[in-house]
Amino acid sequence: MLNTVIIGASGYAGVELVNILSRHPNINIVGLLVSQYSSDIGKPLSEVHPRMKNIIDLPLQSVNSLAGKDKIEIVFLATSHEISYELAPKFLKTGCVVFDLSGAFRVKDKNFYKNFYGLQHKHGAFLEKAVYGLAEFQCEKIKKAQLIAIPGCYPTVSQLALKPLINEGLINTAQYPVINAISGVSGAGRKANIKTHFCEISLEPYGIFNHRHHMEIVIHLGIPVIFIPHIGNFSRGILATITCLLKKGVTNKNIADAFNKAYHTKPFVRLYQQGFPSLKSVINLPYCDIGFAVNNNHLIVIGAEDNLLKGAASQAVQCMNIRFDFPETQSII
């Protein structure tokens, strides 16, 4: 049994982590932690999130209460990048394996953080040793890592939809792939904000040309893309519609073969032979669903995922299972 703490346990991704890890036969949850300023300190998690009643009723504690706890072996940071940036190095120095769901360690270029997070990144050594946790493509590196940076929700669905095609050299990059992605409002987090108040939300684009996930996608795909994120008036899920130009002679079969080659042994990517994914097919499930259509040299790929699961918590646990040589699907499905 590995002693584990979840920091940010009261948030939307945090409670999903708790739910999954509470079922894991190799995990002993020794702490559910929140900010020292949280009004939820002292409350059972099941009071803040009633769906957890009789599943896990541990109290939420201040992150400052860690002193004196049993030896901690695994830490999940379901926190903002500012908090992860401060906490991750402290746990790494004690020998913990850290799974960070924020953007604090996803990209090795310090200028990225200055330009897109307003952060002067001073943890260069930890940044260099961090492994990007896109589980389907980073398995061998994850097995040896101490710090795993879980990809953002938009980058996960975008990369899973495009990476097999790029790896097989099928896309004509003279025309940038265009990613139109719509996310539920839970992607903005649980903290109250009038801009993300459900009654105020309409379907609208935001962050065009300056969304921090845009550059995360570009850096890890290795090609430029156009990324247009949208927020929708629904709670969870992401649907991405991606338009690409194919190289001459690329066929429908070539595309299908590329996806099958990449994912035929990957349990959390489901490929559509006919039709296209929808949000209904992935909500509350740990999968990324992918379908596509080809017309001459034009390709449209549709990807769908639950932003709180495959886009955050279940992918983090997937990475943990890989890291500790547990069955990859353990406690997730």
> Could you tell me if 172 and 262 lie in one domain?
yes
Could you report the per-residue pLDDT of 300-333, keeping only the tens digit for each?
999 999 999 999 999 999 999 999 999 999 999 9
The pLDDT value recorded for residue 122 is: 92
- Structural domain boundaries enclosing 67: 2-150+312-323
288 catalytic per annotation: no
Mean pLDDT of 121-133: 95
| List of E strands, the chain | 2-7, 27-34, 60-62, 74-77, 97-100, 131-132, 147-149, 178-183, 204-205, 226-231, 238-245, 269-271, 288-295, 298-305
Could you report the per-residue pLDDT of 35-65, keeping only the tens digit for each?
888 889 999 999 999 999 999 989 999 998 8
> Could you tell me if 254 and 319 lie in one domain?
no
Q: What is the DSSP string of 176-197?
A: --EEEEEE-GGGG-SS--GGG-
> Could you tell me if 124 and 228 lie in one domain?
no
> Could you tell me if 237 and 180 lie in one domain?
yes
The pLDDT value recorded for residue 68 is: 55
- In a domain? residue 333: no
> Could you tell me if 284 and 228 lie in one domain?
yes
- In a domain? residue 331: no
Lowest mean pLDDT among 156-160, 207-211, 327-331: 207-211
In this predicted model, which residue has the larger pLDDT, 233 or 329? 329
* pLDDT level of residue 201 (50, 70, 90 thresholds): confident
> Could you tell me if 132 and 166 lie in one domain?
no
Lowest mean pLDDT among 8-17, 22-31, 187-196, 219-228: 187-196
In this predicted model, which residue has the larger pLDDT, 174 or 191? 174
> Could you tell me if 181 and 124 lie in one domain?
no
> Could you tell me if 79 and 52 lie in one domain?
yes
Could you report the per-residue pLDDT of 256-313, keeping only the tens digit for each?
999 999 999 999 999 999 999 999 999 999 999 999 999 999 999 999 999 999 999 9
- Nearest Cα to 118, choosing from 81, 78, 148? 81
> Could you tell me if 179 and 269 lie in one domain?
yes
CATH number at residue 22: 3.40.50.720
Q: How far is CA 264 from CA 159, 174, 258, 319, in A?
A: 17, 29, 10, 18
Task: Check 96, 153, 244, 319 and give the catalytic one.
Answer: 153
The pLDDT value recorded for residue 64 is: 85
